[in-house]
Amino acid sequence: MNEYAEWVRQSPLLSAAIQFAILGTLGEILSVCVQKKKAALPCGYLQLLLKALGWALLGVIIKYGFAGMKGFTHALLDHGLLPSFFREGLGWAIGLSTLTNLLFGPQMMFFHRLEDNLIMGERGFKGLQRAWWTLIWFWIPAHTLTFVLPAEYQIGLAALWSVVLGLIMGLSRKR
């Protein structure tokens, strides 16, 4: 694990891009496999490659978002705009996750949905409302756990959560 942590510290943007490209795409593939109850891809190979590149870009955006929201949360605490409960430990993780997913999350999801719909040749914002709801029921609790970890493990876990969400979404669509 030390090599992993060192790689993330030395190459924060590249490591975020690679982890999200692999795990975000895997989450989409698993979602389709669960829905269809067989090995399947969500799209053609070229679209899958574009989706992986889209996930890589999203990983970089999320890396910047996490850093920015940490600074934002510290600023709110420093100005007395959040209770001191949110200053450290689990309180910090809860506050940071909630602020990140309510203030940064919707714009990031909007971009991700736009990007994905363009890749898939769809118009509009199909799936955006469903994606926004995941911020509440999935991402706030998931990122609370994420933000309890040391910083070098947070992006990796965030990318891994994409696989978990892909499985959940695949199971929910089956019904």
d(C-alpha 71, C-alpha 67), whole Å:
7
d(C-alpha 152, C-alpha 15), whole Å:
10
pLDDT for residue 1: 65
Residue 32 lies in a domain: no
DSSP assignment letter at 65: H
pLDDT for residue 123: 87
pLDDT for residue 33: 92
What are the structure tokens assigned to 148, written together?
Answer: 């309890």
d(C-alpha 51, C-alpha 71), whole Å:
30
Calculate the alpha carbon distances from 115 to 20, 47, 55, 122, 123 in Å.
Answer: 15, 12, 10, 10, 11
User: How many helices and strands in the chain, by DSSP H and E?
Assistant: 8, 0
d(C-alpha 29, C-alpha 23), whole Å:
10
pLDDT for residue 175: 46
Residue 88 lies in a domain: yes
Determine the 3-state secondary structure of 125 from DSSP.
coil
- Answer whether 31's CB lies under 8 Å from 42's CB: yes
pLDDT for residue 174: 53
First-to-last alpha carbon distance for the chain, in angstroms, is 39
d(C-alpha 93, C-alpha 112), whole Å:
24
d(C-alpha 154, C-alpha 2), whole Å:
14
Residue 137 lies in a domain: yes
Residue 31 lies in a domain: no
Residue 33 lies in a domain: no
| Tally of domains within the chain | 1
Question: What residues make up the domain containing 85?
Answer: 2-16+43-160
Residue 38 lies in a domain: no
Residue 126 lies in a domain: yes
| pLDDT beneath 50, residues of the chain | 175
Q: How many CA atoms lie within 13 A of 65 on its CB side?
A: 24
- Answer whether 140's CB lies under 8 Å from 98's CB: yes
Residue 174 lies in a domain: no
DSSP assignment letter at 81: -
